[in-house]
Structure 1
Amino acid sequence: MISYTFSLSPTLASNLSWYVNGVSYPTHIVIIDALIHGNLTAFANAILHAILPALTLALSTIAGIMRILRASMLEVLDQDYVRLARAKGVPEKVVINLHARRNALIPVLTLYGYTVASLLGGAVVIEDIFSYPGMGYWTTQALLNNDVGGIMASTLIFGIVFVIASLLLDIIYALIDPRIRY
């Protein structure tokens, strides 16, 4: 039995009929359950509890993505077709939006594929640190309790998420770059 230590404010949680022993009903996701039951105070409290773990996950990946985006954009802006567009007198906004941005996004999208994997792994650590009841926390508890079924289920779910993210990435590649055809 996995026990969650994540909770709403104690005074708020004691008044909620759908939040019993640290588990919310019916979806077991406090943010969604608060909206289902129309309790905006519990929703705001749950959002406040999610801000720090979300920021921790996001900030760890934003720097790498921004660095790759900047390098890719500088490389594309130095290409001949961009210089030709500028020489023809095309406004800089059009040059960046029409000519450069789509080509600069391809390496960034590749990085997003790897970012999904790192976010899944990071979620395991972050949710355990913040005692946030999610897939990562559940996976950690399954590992600590030698729950082979839980470990296999979490591995399967993480694998499915990674495969779906890779599929979506390939579809987005084809939309952004017309030279890519499958």
Structure 2
Amino acid sequence: MRDDDKGDDQGGGRGDGRDESPEERADRQWQELVQEIRVAQTGVQILFGFLLTVAFTPQFHGLPQTDKTLYVVTVILASLATGALIAPVAFHRIVSGRRIKPQAVAWASRLIFVGIILLLATLTTALLLILRVAVHNPAAPWLVAGVLAWYLVCWFVLPLWARARYTRKG
């Protein structure tokens, strides 16, 4: 759950300057989640589509078993990421009109976070596979580790640092 989601269903504001009811807050947070999902969903669906075509290329059959296994792991991760990032839409559709939007927002937020973790794993394994097949360089795992570190800094370290720095009580 995001920082601004905590405590929202307990009535009253947090002193954040917003004058909104719990229902209005849930509506706003849902719209924010939908915007976030659009970015991640599109990327993972395109990647997943490209990955699905690889098995039907002539070069695929000549790959060593290690690369084929890495490919299968990558496709499964992409499928799981796609599922997690589409799940909030299905969740919302099923619970719509039941007056549980704050709970739907909390679950959607969790699903998106899981989807982002799975997308991180998908991108990492896909990059490793591509570098192994394309360049046959023993440095490929080190290059992938560097890119993974970059993803971790951009996606988690920087936001967590900003959250800690700019939301201190005092």
TM bracket (short chain): 0.3 to 0.5
Which structure is larger by alpha-carbon Rg, 1 or 2?
1
TM-score, structure 2 normalization: 0.36
TM-score normalised by the chain length of structure 1: 0.34
Name which structure has the greater RCO, CA cutoff 8 Å, separation 6+. 2
